């Protein structure tokens, strides 16, 4: 089974646009769980323009599914992990001012740094996934530094999919199969949608988890949150 983890950053963005607590982030996360999501993902950034660090603290005691905290592994992020102890930490190479994740780690270049961070996190009982592209040498390097999983950065797949879906998915299949042979779990995320999710799942049936936020929340404006989560889950079962 491929788990659907709903990234709730965009719900926080909407709340922050007016101040106050509408929409209620905690209630929204619990609704996502109630409607069938198997996980909740957040990505707190230093400027707290969407998820706030206090949100993460408030979510931890009430969530019933897997909690995945994404972020660049600076001191504040690592301290948050120690306090919250989520099921999974997803390490991304974003600089502080990035609007969204736009690349995977260069594990070959940053391997020593990442290996130290991964060891620190896993010793706390937290599963580690690192955001990565489909370069096979990078995936081999990821396996060598002790990460539990990789999260394949799927924006290139999503961009090419409308023109050539077979060509779009081919490097992801090769990357995922190599990761599986190396003993790594495989997650995926970024620009996945109702249009392209089912095909990715069919080609990589052993995907552990997909993390989806922007497209899912946009779809919820048209279809409603409960119906939308059901639609995404059906794509994962197709």
User: How large is the average pLDDT for residues 208-215?
Assistant: 98
Mean pLDDT of the region 54-81:
97
Q: In the prediction, which pLDDT does 103 show?
A: 84
Q: What is the mean pLDDT of residues 216-238?
A: 96
Tell me how far apart the alpha carbons of residues 191 and 158 are, in angstroms, rounded to a whole number: 6
pTM: 0.95
Predicted confidence at residue 65, as pLDDT, reads 98
**Region 41-67: what's the mean pLDDT?**
95
Q: Where are the alpha helices (DSSP H) in 40-134?
A: 53-59, 75-84, 107-122
Domain count across the chain: 1
Element (H, E) at 34: helix 25-34
Q: Which of the four pLDDT bands, split at 50, 70 and 90, describes residue 95? A: low
The proportion of the chain whose per-residue pLDDT surpasses 90, expressed as a percent, equals 93
CB 57 within 8 A of CB 83: yes
CA 130 to chain centre: 10
Given a cut of 70, whether residue 99 has pLDDT beyond it is no
Residue 98 has what pLDDT? 56
Q: What is the pLDDT of residue 102?
A: 72
Question: Of 25, 10, 19, 100, which Cα lies nearest the Cα of 60?
Answer: 25
Q: What is the mean pLDDT of the chain?
A: 96
**pLDDT value for 101:** 64
Question: So which residues are the catalytic ones?
Answer: 43, 70, 190
Q: How far is CA 161 from CA 12, 85, 156, 189, 192, in A?
A: 29, 36, 8, 15, 10
Alpha-carbon distance of 38 to 66, in angstroms, equals: 7
Position 139 scores a pLDDT of 98
Alpha helices in 94-224 (DSSP H): 107-122, 136-144, 155-160, 165-181, 197-203, 214-223
Q: Which is it for strands 149-153 and 127-132: parallel, antiparallel or unpaired? A: parallel
Segment 104-126, tens digit of pLDDT = 999 999 999 999 999 999 999 99
- Which range marks the domain in which residue 54 is found? 3-237
Nearest-angstrom CA–CA distance, 13 and 224: 18
Task: Give the 3-state secondary structure of residue 69.
Answer: strand
Q: Which two tokens stand for residue 224?
A: 């409603």
The domain that holds 113 is classified in CATH as 3.20.20.70
What's the count of helices (H) and strands (E) in the chain, helices before strands? Answer: 11, 8
């Amino acid at each position: 089974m491929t788990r659907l983890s709903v990234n709730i950053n965009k719900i926080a963005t909407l709340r922050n646009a007016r101040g106050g607590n509408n929409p209620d982030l905690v209630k929204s996360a619990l609704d996502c769980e109630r409607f069938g999501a198997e996980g909740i993902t957040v990505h707190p950034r230093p400027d707290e323009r969407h998820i706030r660090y206090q949100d993460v603290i408030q979510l931890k005691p009430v969530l019933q599914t897997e909690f995945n905290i994404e972020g660049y592994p600076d001191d504040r992020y690592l301290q948050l992990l120690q306090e919250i102890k989520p099921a999974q930490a997803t390490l991304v190479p974003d600089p502080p001012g990035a609007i969204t994740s736009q690349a995977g780690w260069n594990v070959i270049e940053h391997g020593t740094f990442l290996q130290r961070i991964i060891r620190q996190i896993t010793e706390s009982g937290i599963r580690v996934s690192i955001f990565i592209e489909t370069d096979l040498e990078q995936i081999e390097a990821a396996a060598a530094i002790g990460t539990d999983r990789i999260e394949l950065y799927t924006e290139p797949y999503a961009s090419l999919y409308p023109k050539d879906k077979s060509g779009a998915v081919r490097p992801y299949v090769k990357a995922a199969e190599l990761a599986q042979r190396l003993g790594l779990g495989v997650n995926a995320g970024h620009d996945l949608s109702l249009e392209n999710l089912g095909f990715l799942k069919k080609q990589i049936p052993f995907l552990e988890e997909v993390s989806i936020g922007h497209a899912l929340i946009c779809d919820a404006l048209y279809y409603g949150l409960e119906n939308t989560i059901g639609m995404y889950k059906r794509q994962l079962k197709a």
